[in-house]
C-alpha cells in the first residue's frame, strides 16, 4: 500500500468517527453477507448502499434493527439486520 492510499484510508476513518460519533479504534468484529435474495438499496444519509451477496465488515452491533458496517470501498453506514446472513 502506498503512502497516498494509507493517508486516504486514515482520512476516511476520521470522517467516519466524526459522522457516527464513534470513539476508539475501528475493529472488525466479524464479516457478514448481504442476503442474495434481498433487494438492492441505494443507501443515503447514514445508510450504506447494498448489493446482493456483498461481504461487509461488521464494526458495531448498534441495536436490534441495525448494524454498523464497512464495505469493500471503505464506506461506512448502517445496514438492516434482516438483510444480513452469517458466513
Instruction: Name the nearest CA neighbour of 83 among 42, 40, 22.
Output: 40
- The three cell numbers locating residue 57: 465488515
**Per-domain boundaries in the chain:** 3-86
Instruction: Name the nearest CA neighbour of 20 among 47, 51, 41, 52.
Output: 47
Judge: domain 3-86, CATH 2.30.30.40.
Answer: yes
pTM: 0.86
Q: What is the pLDDT of residues 1-54, one digit of tens each?
A: 688 889 988 898 899 999 999 888 889 999 999 999 988 888 888 999 999 999
Please give the DSSP secondary-structure letter assigned to residue 15.
Answer: H
**Radius of gyration for the chain, computed over Cα atoms and rounded to the nearest angstrom:** 13
* Residue 76 confidence (pLDDT) above 80: yes
Strands 30-34 and 55-61: antiparallel
Amino acid at each position: 500500500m502506498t503512502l497516498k492510499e494509507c493517508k486516504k484510508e486514515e482520512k476516511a476513518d476520521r470522517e467516519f468517527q466524526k459522522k457516527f460519533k464513534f470513539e476508539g479504534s475501528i475493529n472488525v468484529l466479524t464479516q457478514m453477507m448481504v442476503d442474495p435474495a434481498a433487494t438492492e438499496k441505494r443507501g443515503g444519509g447514514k445508510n450504506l448502499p447494498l448489493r446482493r451477496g456483498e461481504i461487509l465488515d461488521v464494526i458495531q452491533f448498534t441495536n436490534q434493527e441495525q448494524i454498523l458496517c464497512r464495505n469493500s470501498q471503505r464506506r461506512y453506514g448502517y445496514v438492516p439486520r434482516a438483510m444480513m446472513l452469517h458466513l
